[in-house]
Amino acid sequence: MLLKNTSGLPALEPWSKCHIYDFVQPSVQSYWTEMCLNMTDSGVIDGCGADASWQIDPTGGTTAPDVEKEWDVGHRTMMRDTTLALGDGVLLGKDPWELDYHVNGTVLHCHVVYYIALHCVYICTLGIFYNCSRLIF
C-alpha cells in the first residue's frame, strides 16, 4: 500500500516526512477513491482535497526513475477517476492551473480558509473539506 524507496523501505515525502501511497497499484488507487466516496456519500461532506496534486515525484528522488513515472501516471489516474466518481462533488487541488486536468476545484490553504469561514473543517488524512467548495471569495 505504501510506496517503497530504492532501499525497499517505505518512501517518505521530504517536507512532511509522511509515508506515500503507492499509486502505481490499481488497488491503492481504488482505495483512495473509495475512501473519498465513502466520506462524501451522506452529502454532509461535498468533496475531497488532493493537496499537492501537482506532484510528479513526491519522494525527492529516492525512488527509481521508472517508479516515479509509474507513480505519476497512477496518481493522476486516481485523481481523474475520483473526480468523475464524485459527480457533482469536488476534488480540490491547491493551484488554479490544476483545474480541468485532474481536479475540478481549488482552495486556498485551509488554515487561511479557517479565518474566512470557521465552518470549514479540514481532515488531514485525505484532505477532506466540509463546505469549502460552497465558499465564495
pLDDT tens, position by position, 63-108: 999 999 999 999 999 999 999 999 989 998 887 778 877 888 887 6
CA distance 132 to 16: 24
Higher pLDDT: 102 or 120? It is: 102
Examine residue 126 and state whether it is found in any structural domain, yes or no: yes
Examine residue 41 and state whether it is found in any structural domain, yes or no: no
Examine residue 57 and state whether it is found in any structural domain, yes or no: yes
- Give strand ranges (E) for the chain: 47-49, 90-93, 105-106, 122-123, 128-129
Examine residue 38 and state whether it is found in any structural domain, yes or no: no
Examine residue 23 and state whether it is found in any structural domain, yes or no: no
Examine residue 27 and state whether it is found in any structural domain, yes or no: no
Examine residue 74 and state whether it is found in any structural domain, yes or no: yes
| Amino acid letter for position 136 | I
**Rg of the chain, C-alpha, whole Å:** 15
pTM: 0.75
Contact 54, 10 (CB under 8 A): no
Q: Domain span at residue 91? A: 46-134
Q: How many domains does the chain have?
A: 1
